[in-house]
Amino acid sequence: MASNSTVSYKQLKEEFVSNLSGGSVAEICSVTAVAPVAALLWSVLQARHSFFKPYTPLAFVVDFLLNVGAILLSITLYSSSSLLLNGLILAAAIFVYAIPPNSAGRRKNLKPKVPPTTARVQSKDATSPSLSNLSTKPFLTTYRGCLMVATCLAILAVDFRLFPRRFAKVETWGTSLMDIGVGSFVFSAGIVGARPVLKERAEGKTTAIAQRLLSSLRHSLPLLTLGVVRLLSVKGLDYAEHVSEYGVHWNFFFTLGLLPPFVAIFQSALRIIPSYAGLAILLGVLYQVALESTSLKAYILTAPRTDLLSMNREGIFSFCGYLAIFLAGQDTGMFVLPRRLSTRPSNSIPGSLQRLTLVLTMATWTLVWATLYFLTTNYHYGAGLTVSRRLANLPYMLFVVAFNSMQLTAFCVIDTVFFPAFYTAPDARVEKELHHTATSRVLRAFNRNGLAIFLLANLLTGLVNMTVPTLDVGQLATMGILIAYASALAGVAVALDMYDITLKL
């Protein structure tokens, strides 16, 4: 009897995340806008009042409530009134900005320990390292931290009834919050993936394709191992799974793990098309043509699962779309990561002009990607295609890239307005301190050990689902579980950061 009830409950859970059609793009943008709006309030508190320096227990609580709590509220209790939540946080930011700052305390807390004049002299010494060609900009840390927080929250929240079904992954056609999250993870990895390419170019070296493949496989191995572990645990524990998402055996870790070697191969194609964005668009278009002009689309969506390929057809063929997203992310990284966009000496270009150039470049690319998305999906002026995360088709790829470019630009604008000193740091030591001043410790901690925290989130999600009947839990208990889960993740992340521990997986 217990066995039958267990089976039926597993079926209920699978049905709970199946055959969903998603929600509107406008609502997704509204719900996710809470991240940059909360970052705005955090920045006002820090830049005007030095609230998070020193980092007291109260500062941690406020940091957590703003950068984790606000995102949690937007996908649960405020899911139907995200504009109200954004308005409340924005009103708080305006109110805090209007409060006159304690200028003496603010100067004391926000200025670098090494005065700029001294730092310029010391930058020539070994004790004060000079600036590299690449920089870790605060807005990029904030963006990646927010993405990790939202991903970790959503993978558990989706199992509760409080999390709207329109936010969960769609079955085949449509847009949803969790669909954009999967693609955003890949786009974010692409941005960081531009770093070794930029280093190689700065050093004037050309790495052989065999060496690039070997290096990429070293990065892939941990992810592929996690994929195998997840596969064995899901099958071994008879865990509820949504087969049409990636297939019978495939999972997202396999997709992430296979990206680096394929990107290494695509490096050679840059001689023909010297642009990652161009490669991304070409790959997306070719994949879409294959879907529309052959029987590939019908095979992916309807073929019987008779062999290894057909059993995992969604995960295998959607890899083309995710590879295009990764390449587009890499293109973004090519102008976000360098210290300056111009090849002219940095001292000949004012810092304000460099910041403005970066913002305008990002805004322009956001407009380009959004226009391409409009042209592929609009029925009157474009191709009239529909987004499909299951296929990872061209509209999905463009939707993900346009969305992330917009989010990144929003964080960049906040960064530029409130923390301009970072962009004129005289040496690496001062720059690091200014970076810490301009970024939330919670988000920085989530970003620093992202993969380890994501793995912990998956383990905790499995534990909750195996011990709690999530479909039967009320609203109050749901929020209690999600807050405890979010607190545990944030606590572990910040503790690792405080002890200067980076877990390389």
What is the share, in percent, of the chain residues with pLDDT greater than 70?
90
Check pLDDT > 60 for residue 343: no
Distance from C-alpha of 164 to C-alpha of 95, rounded to nearest angstrom: 32
Between 125-129, 208-212, 338-342, 393-397, the lowest mean confidence (pLDDT) is in: 125-129
pLDDT tens digit string along 299-334?
999 999 999 999 999 999 999 999 999 999 999 999
Whole-angstrom distance, CA of residue 328 vs CA of residue 232 = 32
How many angstroms separate the CA atoms of 41 and 96, rounded?
8
User: What's the mean pLDDT in 74-96?
Assistant: 97
Q: How far apart are CA 352 and CA 73, in angstroms?
A: 36
Rounded average pLDDT over 229-251: 82
> What confidence score (pLDDT) does residue 126 get?
45
Q: Which residues contact 159 (CB under 8 A, 6 or more apart)?
A: 13, 16, 461, 464, 465, 470, 471
DSSP type of residue 267: G
**pLDDT tens, residue by residue, 110-164:** 555 544 444 444 444 445 577 888 888 999 999 999 999 999 999 999 999 999 9
Identify the band that residue 482 occupies on the pLDDT scale cut at 50, 70 and 90. very high
- Sign (positive or negative) of CA dihedral 235, 241, 244, 246: negative
Average pLDDT over residues 57-62: 96
**Residue 68, CB-side half-sphere exposure with 13 Å CA sphere:** 29
pLDDT digits (tens, 9 = 90+) for 443-461: 999 999 999 999 999 999 9
Look-up of token digits 């304690």 = 102
Model-wide pTM > 0.85: yes
Spatial contact of 454 and 462, defined as CB atoms under 8 Å apart: no
